[in-house]
Structure 1
């Protein structure tokens, strides 16, 4: 069975979303980022990215990670490519060209869109009002115009 380690509001959402789109049965094991805890090494700390049990799954100490019947891997985009190729049906690449395009657009989204999108969300929604920087959000919106023009 597929086990996804991570939490919503992290890149694990990519893997959870794809598993849902593919209709896969999976188990979600909540693993919180250690930097969100006062003392991630405390005996009563939630399972987190520095917990010995999680480090057995991913020695890098990052979420997401998966265990697919004993096959373990990390990195959300790599996990999605693996799941798409293994279970994807219409979502899987049919040949090397489609595989190349799938990789290209995944990396494009991660490098050209995601950093600016995160800046917008942080500075318009997530951060406490006093910590938000409207100029950073506006600059990120402006920075997205160029990559989005490539979509036609």
Structure 2
């Protein structure tokens, strides 16, 4: 059976969503991020990314980690790509060209969108609690996102999905990155095709199942 190490409130959500899409059974080991704990090395600390047993599995101390038989794999997009290719049927590539395009768009999301989207996720607090400094950082991050989102907008104006004519791992990976910036409303006004596509991705039953599991975990 597949084993996913990582809480659902992490990038492990990407693997879990894909497993639900593909109907794959898996075991989840709820490794929590060390930064979320007061003292990650305390004797009574829950299993976390600094725990010796997890570091033996992942020297980088990062979740998620996927185990499939003798294979131990880290980096969430490597994991989703592997699962889609091996088990995902139409979620994965049908040929080498599709595989290349799925990798291209996943890497694009990770390199061109995710860093600034994470800035928005961590700093955006609606209302009077938003400091002026944080507002400036968010505005700068949103400005940097305009160019990559315009590329995605133009693509989705001409295509229902990112690669070929079906929902694939490329959509899943990109949607999970864009979710980080989803709470900052002004950013999305200029990108209706991206907004509609993201809503459709998150309306999928497999996403909703993952999200309910995520909400049931402690914050």
Structure-1-length-normalised TM-score: 0.89
**Structure 2: distance between partners of 1:124 and 1:140:** 11
Partner of 1:98: 98
**Structure 1: distance between partners of 2:125 and 2:75:** 26
Deviations 1:30-71 (A, max 9, x none): 111223223222211100111122123222221110112332
In structure 1, the residue corresponding to 2:72 is in which secondary structure? strand
Change (3 A) 1:70 1:108: same
In structure 2, the residue corresponding to 1:28 is in which secondary structure? strand
Alignment of 1:36-55 (within 5 A): 36-55=36-55
Deviations 1:95-142 (A, max 9, x none): 11111111110000111111111111212149xx36671111122122
**Structure 1: distance between partners of 2:86 and 2:145:** 33
Partner of 1:114: 114
**Structure 2: distance between partners of 1:8 and 1:138:** 29
Partner of 2:30: 30
Deviations 1:70-93 (A, max 9, x none): 321111010011101111111111
In structure 2, the residue corresponding to 1:78 is in which secondary structure? helix
Partner of 1:21: 21
Change (3 A) 1:125 1:8: farther
Establish whether residue 139 from structure 1 lines up as the match of residue 140 from structure 2.
yes
**Structure 1: distance between partners of 2:60 and 2:124:** 31
**Structure 1: distance between partners of 2:58 and 2:70:** 13
Kindly tell me the number of residue pairs found equivalent between the two proteins: 150
Establish whether residue 148 from structure 1 lines up as the match of residue 125 from structure 2.
no
- Runs (5+) with no aligned partner, structure 1: none
Runs of 4+ in 1 over 4 A off after TM superposition: none
Contact 2:124 2:130 in 1 (8 A): no
Partner of 1:85: 85
RMSD: 1.8
Structure-2-length-normalised TM-score: 0.64
**Structure 1: distance between partners of 2:122 and 2:10:** 13
